[in-house]
Amino acid sequence: MGKVKRFFNSQKVAPFVFVLPFLLSLIIFWAYPLITGIIMSFQDITFGGRTFVGVKHYTKLMQDKFFRTAVLNSVEYMVLTIVLLIPIPMMLAVLLESRITKAKGVWKVIMYIPALTSVVISGMLFRMMFSEAAGSQMNQLMDFLGKTPIAWLKSKPTAWVALLLLCMWRWTGVNMLYFISGLKAVDTSIYESADIDGANARQKFWYLTLPLIKPTTIYVVTISVYAGLSMFLESFMLWNGNSSPKNIGLTIVGYLYKRGIEKNDMGYACAVGVVLMIIALAINIIQLTATGTFKKEEK
C-alpha cells in the first residue's frame, strides 16, 4: 500500500490522475461515439448485421430533396437566431450594467427563468399560443386588432415567427448573462477616461465596449452556430411531431431522427450526422478565422 500511495502522490503521476476522469469521459462519451458514427455512415445496418456500402449514403444525400430542405431550414434558422440573439442580449446586458438600472439582480433572474423551463413544456405552450383556433392567444390578439384568425403553424412566415419567438424567449437571458460576464471583466477606469475626454454613450459603446467584449461575442456566436444547426426539439414540440406542413419545420437533426429512429435506417442517419458536423465545423472555422481567433499574437 505504501508503494501505491507514493506512486499516486508523486509529482509526475498526480497530474495524470486528476485529468483521468476527464479523459475517460471524453473517450467514452465523445471520441468513441464520433468514430463509431463515422464508421456506421459507410454501412447498411440491419438486425442481421452490417454491410459496408462505401459512399452510397453520401451519394444518396446529395440527391435527397428532403435533406436539402432540412439543411436550408437549419442554416436559415441559425442565421436568424444569430441576428436576433447577439445584438439584443448584448444591448440588454449593457443596459443592465448601466447606472440607470435598479434591482439588477431581479431583472437577471426574470430574464434567466425561461432557460430553466423544459423545451417540451415551452414548445407545448407556444403551440397552444399559436394555434389556429379562434381562442388561441395570438388569434385573440388578431381579433383585438380587427384581423381574421391565422393558421400560424401552416405557413412558413408565420410559423417561423412562433419558432423564433420561442428561441428568443428561452435563450435571450442566457446570452445576456454571457455578455454581462464579459462586461464585468472590463476595467471601469477606461470608461472614466472616456468620460473625461467627453465621449458620449454611443461612442463609448462603439469604440470601447464592442472591442473589449469581442472574446465573449465570438464565444456566443460559436455556440449559437452549433445550437442553430442542431435545433430539433423546439420544432418537434411546436408541430407536435416530426412532420410539419410542406416540411417548413424540418431540420437536419429532425431528418436524422426521421431516418434513424422512425425508418430504422441508422447508416443513412449517421451520414446525415457526419454532414451536420462538417457544416458546423466549416462555419465555425470560417467565422473564427474571420474574427482573428486563430491569428497568432505578435510578440
| 86-123: pLDDT as tens digits | 999 999 999 988 888 888 889 999 999 999 988 999 99
Mean pLDDT on 242-251: 91
Distance between CA 234 and CA 85 in Å, rounded?
Answer: 16
For residue 299, the model assigns a pLDDT of: 47
For residue 197, the model assigns a pLDDT of: 82
53 in Cβ contact with 264 (< 8 Å):
no
Q: pLDDT tens for residues 213-225? A: 999 999 999 999 9
| Exposure string over 14-50, b if 16+ CB within 10 A, otherwise e | eeeeeeeeeeeeeeeeeeeeeeebeebbbbbbeeeee
Q: pLDDT tens for residues 150-165? A: 899 999 999 999 999 9
Give the pLDDT band of residue 3 (cuts 50, 70, 90).
low
83 to 107, 127, 237: CA distances (angstroms): 23, 24, 23
Give the pLDDT band of residue 231 (cuts 50, 70, 90).
very high
Strand-pairing partners, residue 46, are: 49
Place of cell 430504422: 264
Are β-strands 49-52 and 43-46 bridged in parallel, bridged antiparallel, or unpaired?
A: antiparallel
| The pTM of the whole model exceeds 0.85 | yes
pLDDT(236) > 90 = yes
Spatial CB neighbours of 112, under 8 Å, sequence gap ≥ 6: 173, 174, 177
Q: Which of 250, 184, 171 minimizes the C-alpha distance to 213?
A: 184
